[in-house]
Amino acid sequence: MLRLLNLELQKLLLNRTSKVLIFVSFILPFFVILLSSFKINFFGIFTLELGELGIFNFPLIWHLTTFFAAQFKFFFAIVVVSMVGNEYSNKTLKQNLIDGLSKKEFILSKFYAIVFFAFISTLLIALITLCIGLYYSSYTEIGIIIRETEFLLAYFVKLVGFFSLCLFFGMLVKRSAFALAFLFILFILEWIAFGLMTWQMNSDIATKIQNFFPLQSMYHLIEQPIQRIAMTKFPDKTEIAYDYAVHWYEIIIVLGWTALFIFLSYLLLKKRDL
Amino acid sequence: MNTILTITNLTKKFGYLTAVKDLSFTINKGNVYGILGPNGSGKSTTLGIVLNVVNKTSGDFKWFDGNTTTHDALKKVGAIIERPNFYPYMTAEQNLKLVCKIKGVDFSKINEKLEIVGLLERKDSKFRTYSLGMKQRLAIASALLNDPEILILDEPTNGLDPQGIHQIREIIKKIASNGTTILLASHLLDEVEKICSHVVVLRKGVKLYSGRVDEMISSHGFFELKCNDNEALMKVLENNPAFSAVKEKDHLVTAFLNEPLKSETLNKYLFDNGIVLTHLVQRKESLEEQFLQLTDKN
């Protein structure tokens, strides 16, 4: 396993483009979060200090940071797609197999790299969030701090799931740009399907089915936190209350998709003549 | 004798097209094999199948004793298919390190092999800055990293300039002289003739011949003769049952043998019959002539 991960890391880290993109997708979000935790002075007119709004309180902060950091995953998606696309266009995939890598090992080395980066990212965000939280949060009891840390698990699963989808698209179309277009098409298709179902049936059932769609199920792992922040400000407005928790079945759905995408990638490679 | 690769009834179909049809042959240790065939005869497809990049339709192949999986067997094989494929953004050394990691070979081999192909001073240059000849030599270095039991080369001199072709040939000869088994696919017959001891001839996916180069067609060779009176010479030759055919072209008489005959015997025989030769050469058909005869006949 370490050998396969090592292989993939060498391929990625010696490539300048992917190095930059990895930096952007994993390091940048923390700077953004870190910066937003500082006092911002708007031309001396007024000072905005987000910390004062109470949004950096435990356990809310877990939800907030994982949600925003996850938006940067798109940059690493480009890396995932191009790490497959490049293997095809350089024909190094063929050479790897000739050199004695099995098709299974090839897919696994990509998957391990995905898991590795998702894990590093999760670890980083856990650290940063902990630091900001300890600094700003009004509650620093250990019991409150570890509450809702399941958002970290959700974040990890979300990244692994999304990148597995990218890996599959990369294997499917062999070209990075087309694979990204496919991602966008899938996004549109999911909404068209949702629209049709709402029209044919009712929106309750449609929403339930939509939660099983690959992109939507990943999105649903971590709901948007804006409404929740509003809830903490106006606790008596019950109409804005919503279910933001991470549910076990949501994680199972995404893990299911992940397994399916990896398996399909393997199947594609196995059936294909290179 | 040690068997390295056994192919039995291998067939590959691309839709309606049959690229390889019911092909069987065996590769034994220590020989240098050539796979001959015109473009599109199924050479690369056959190699692709045994190298795990093309799926077979039916039939079977096994590496070594058949107890290792294909990808593990390939770790003991060195192969170059068509074009050198490396990561353009990595240096030669980094590319070879990657191959070492895949094959499970120690990094110490890298410099040794780069030395053989003469790329040691350029090992820190990025692969994309290499010329085609250098890329091809790097590919050979890469294939040699694991000191392979067999080296498979598919058109190794394709697209190279004369110097490049010469360099690659010298390297191959050097490797062959060390006793490494080589399988060389090519449509350049003089290339195969210079290096190989055995050949497999394919056409349209069908095997026409496999065996030693010099036994490819049952021929005893021919004589090229000249004298001052070619007509008399031809008459004498046609009356000799050892010759199957006698032809004259540009004042050169070519007589094809159908049984072994030594040149001194022929010279004496002709002299006894009153013919004094001015030119006598005994030859075997070149591989090219043999190959064309074989592919035309079938």
More confident residue, A228 or B34: B34
CB A217, CB A254: distance < 8 Å? yes
CB B199, CB B207: distance < 8 Å? no
Token pair 């590319």 is found at: B95
CB B13, CB B162: distance < 8 Å? no
Of A225, A268, A230, residue with least CA distance to A243: A225
Task: For each of the domains in chain B, give its residue range(s) and CATH number, in order of start.
Answer: 3-215 (3.40.50.300), 222-297 (3.30.70.100)
Contact (CB<8Å) B53/A3: no
The tokens describing A231, both together, are 């809830």
Query: What average pLDDT does range B203-230 have in this prediction?
Result: 82
- What H or E segment, with its residue span, contains residue A258? helix A248-271
Contact (CB<8Å) A15/B81: no
CB atoms within 10 A of CB A90: 16
The Cα angle at residue A156 between residues A155 and A161, in degrees rounded to 5 = 100
CA distance B154 to chain A (A): 12
Give the domain ranges of chain A.
Answer: 2-271
Q: pLDDT tens digits for A49-98?
A: 666 666 777 778 888 888 888 888 888 888 899 999 999 998 999 999 99
Query: What average pLDDT does range B51-78 have in this prediction?
Result: 89
Residue A4 to residue B146: CA distance in whole angstroms: 18
Residue A122 to residue A219: CA distance in whole angstroms: 17
pLDDT at residue B298, rounded to an integer? 58
Residue in chain A closest to B100 (alpha carbons) equals A99
More confident residue, B7 or A230: B7
Of B177, B150, B117, residue with least CA distance to B35: B150
Contact (CB<8Å) B85/A95: yes
Phi, psi of B70 (to 5 degrees): -60, -45
CB B213, CB B197: distance < 8 Å? yes
Q: pLDDT tens digits for B123-146?
A: 899 999 999 888 988 998 999 998
Q: Looking at the partner chain, which of B51, B90, B94 has a beta carbon nearest the beta carbon of A98?
A: B51
Residue in chain A closest to B148 (alpha carbons) equals A99
Mutate to test the interface with B, among A21, A83, A99, A104 (most CBs of B within 10 A): A99
How far apart, in Å, are the Cα atoms of A246 and each of A8, A148, A155, A251, B6?
A: 32, 9, 10, 8, 57
Instruction: Please give the mean pLDDT across all residues of chain A.
Output: 85
Q: pLDDT tens digits for A137-172?
A: 777 777 888 888 888 999 999 999 999 999 999 999
The tokens describing A250, both together, are 């949501």
Query: Regarding beta strands B17-28 and B243-249, do their DSSP bridges make them parallel or antiparallel, or are they unpaired?
Result: unpaired
Q: Is the pLDDT of residue B1 over 60?
A: no
Contacts for A223 with CB less than 8 Å, ≥ 6 apart: A67, A242, A243, A244
pLDDT at residue A155, rounded to an integer? 92
Identify the band that residue B91 occupies on the pLDDT scale cut at 50, 70 and 90.
Answer: very high
Of A146, A118, A108, residue with least CA distance to A130: A146
Mutate to test the interface with B, among A11, A15, A98, A272 (most CBs of B within 10 A): A98
pLDDT at residue B218, rounded to an integer? 63
Residue in chain A closest to B83 (alpha carbons) equals A91
pLDDT at residue B239, rounded to an integer? 85
Q: For residue A31, which amino acid is it?
A: F
| pLDDT > 70: percent of chain B | 98
CA distance B293 to chain A (A): 34
CA distance A106 to chain B (A): 10
Is residue A257 classed as helix, strand or coil in its secondary structure?
helix
CA distance B16 to chain A (A): 16
Residue B148 to residue B142: CA distance in whole angstroms: 10
